[in-house]
Amino acid sequence: MLKNQDLANKTILKSLILSLLGVNFSCFSQLQPPMPDYFAAIDAMRTQKKGDSVARHKPLLLLLVLAKISAGHTNRFVFEQIEEELIHLLEKFGERPRTKIVAHYPFVFLAGESLLWHCTLTRQDLPNPKSLSRSAVLHQVGHLQPEFLKYLLQGRNL
């Protein structure tokens, strides 16, 4: 059973992501043409749970990427170039107490949220996904899916 605080933190992270996307729930029915449900994909984002805590690696990576794109960064992220920033976010907001920081896992595994993210290294490329090494990810490239980025950029000032 998850603690109420962990559930609240996960909800806060998802709310931050949705607010960055400029969500106005009253206008969903007016979207033309119909778009894939990015909001549901964010809401359903799989996060690792251990005991009473929830890992926030994927939402924090997504927030970092959205913030960088909002600041003018291209939609191309080499893990090695954003690793330090992601580690800082994980240390400050996302890690469970007394755990080792593993920033390379969300970079690859966020691609499981196929509407949102793509990485040049996939689970299928790995001989053993549970033993993903940092060195295998260092030079990998990730990006928001083109249709997701296009959706974000349409009138949302990103």
125 to 58, 113, 144: CA distances (angstroms): 20, 17, 20
Selected residue with higher pLDDT from 40 and 98: 40
What residue spans define the domains of the chain?
Answer: 4-153
Give the mean model confidence (pLDDT) for residues 1-29.
53
pLDDT number for residue 2? 43
**Predicted confidence (pLDDT) per residue in 42-66, tens digit:** 887 877 777 777 678 888 999 999 9
Query: Sheet holding 141-144: strands in order across?
Result: 77-78, 141-144, 117-119
115-133 mean pLDDT:
86
**More confident position, 1 or 10:** 10
Query: Which whole number is the average pLDDT over 107-132?
Result: 86
Instruction: Determine whether 128 is exposed, middle or buried from the number of CB atoms within 10 Å of its CB (0-12, 13-18, 19+).
Output: exposed
Q: What is the mean pLDDT of the chain?
A: 77
Task: Tell me: pLDDT of 88 over 70.
Answer: yes
Specify the higher pLDDT residue, 146 or 98.
146
pLDDT at 33 over 60: no
Nearest-angstrom CA–CA distance, 81 and 34: 35
Could you write out the DSSP letters of every residue in 40-69?
HHHHT----EETTEE--HHHHHHHHHHHHH
- Whether 137 shows a pLDDT value over 90: the answer reads yes
pTM given for the model: 0.75
Helix H, strand E, coil C: the string for 91-144 is HHHHCCCCCCCCCHHHHHHHHHCCCCEEECCCHHHCCCHHHCCHHHHCCCEEEE
20 confidence band (pLDDT: 50, 70, 90): low
